[in-house]
Structure 1
Amino acid sequence: MVDEGCQTKIPFVIMTSDDTNALTIKLLESNSYFGMEPSQVKILKQEKVACLADNDARLALDPSDKYKIQTKPHGHGDVHSLLYSSGLLEQWKTEGRKWVLFFQDTNGLLFNAIPSALGVSATKGYNVNSLAVPRKAKETIGGITKLTHVDGRTMVINVEYNQLDPLLRATGHPDGDSNCETGYSPYPGNINQLILELGPYIEELKKTHGAISEFVNPKYLEGACWFITVRGFGSGYGEERMQSYLLSISSPTNCLSWSAL
């Protein structure tokens, strides 16, 4: 990156798990870090957590070994605690960096929108900027919403797709999550691409030492009373989500930035 004639190397952090760590390092090394210097790239590995088998929170055992507990990565919300505990955030602040961009590897076209989104964050003074895409009603992707508490507090945040429709119906919207005159839902799709101002981000994480609210993510098999994971075993697990950081902000100034990706 060139800024007023000076070249700047942008640090790049990848969060991995036991399942992906070795393969990620191998991919980087075999491709000469895709043109980056090895010192630019930092690998932060998250730990796994035990899976639960039912609503009574019994531990889920491996179907092939009854003495082995099923485990799963803790969720992408671990990136906040890992960045905090690694000291990278303070290092970046000392180096004069101002913004942290979070993106997931399933959204490659995001890079077309990064420059304009960063510009919006800088000119508008946003602590948080969340990129989104047009979304059809009831599409299986979370929707960005503005929630208003009975005491007047407001929050712009993602609501999961399986919670959005019942939430709307319970709060005076009989049609639930339905398309408006544009042909799309008025609640754009959350793609978990966040731009955070570094200084306020550090101050918020200091309050909890990087910890983010955790929740149990139950997914029931049809006609059964146990959970399923991505691997197809019957289990559920405690999970942290990257966007849950927004719940911890004391008085957020955040913006919804549309981007047709």
Structure 2
Amino acid sequence: KLQEEDFPCSTAELELVFDGLDAAGTGRLRIEEFTAGLRHVMSSQTAARDHRRRKTASRRVRLVLPSPVVEGEDSEERRHFAAFVEQLGMANNSEEKEIWQLWVKLQQEEPQLLGNLEDFVAKMRHRIQEARSKKEALEVTLNKRAAEHKEEVQQLCEALEQQIQEEKQRLEQESMARSHQRGVELQRALDASEREVQRLVTEQAELETRCRSLRSMQQVTSTENRQLEESNRELEEHLRHVHQQLQQNQGRLQAARAA
């Protein structure tokens, strides 16, 4: 574990640096982001030491990637660094160069911090792996839920479509039934109207026949009335003639009686 007397940044502070830089909460940081944040903490907390070192040392370190074949202690150190980089799983040369710069700086200025850096990076790597595992598990869960949701939506759509189809068929059947009923009622009304028209036509024909019969009877009656009137006149004339003859005969009879 990091000790405050050996290093101005404790493990908790390094974790805070990592958490502060990991604003998205993904558990991942680019090497450039991490080294930049770590440099900032180191430069702010070791300003006094840097001031003293500038007075007593003028060494400069050329921050480049080492050649693969170097003898002695430096070669062993670089093998150690290569194993450290392999543990980090870096495949980008620029990222490897950044971490090598930090490695060389720590070895030159704070060699006792290399172990702390390795511990911290190992811990961060474990946390990153855990975060990656959680992310993968979350992705699996989300994919499963998405598939289940898709299946539920599909089933809901199919059920809704089936319900719509059944409702459509029901409405069509009801419409056909109502149309058939209206057709039957209209046919009944039409038949009744035709019967009524036929009845009226028959009644009209009967009335016309009766009217013609009445007119014929009127004509006959008128003729008979004229004949009766003529007979009456003839009878009345004959009656007057007979009455006159009777009076004449009575006068003659009276005259004869008187004589």
> TM-score if structure 1 supplies the norm length?
0.22
Which structure has more relative contact order (CA 8 Å, sep 6+)? It is 1
> TM-score if structure 2 supplies the norm length?
0.22
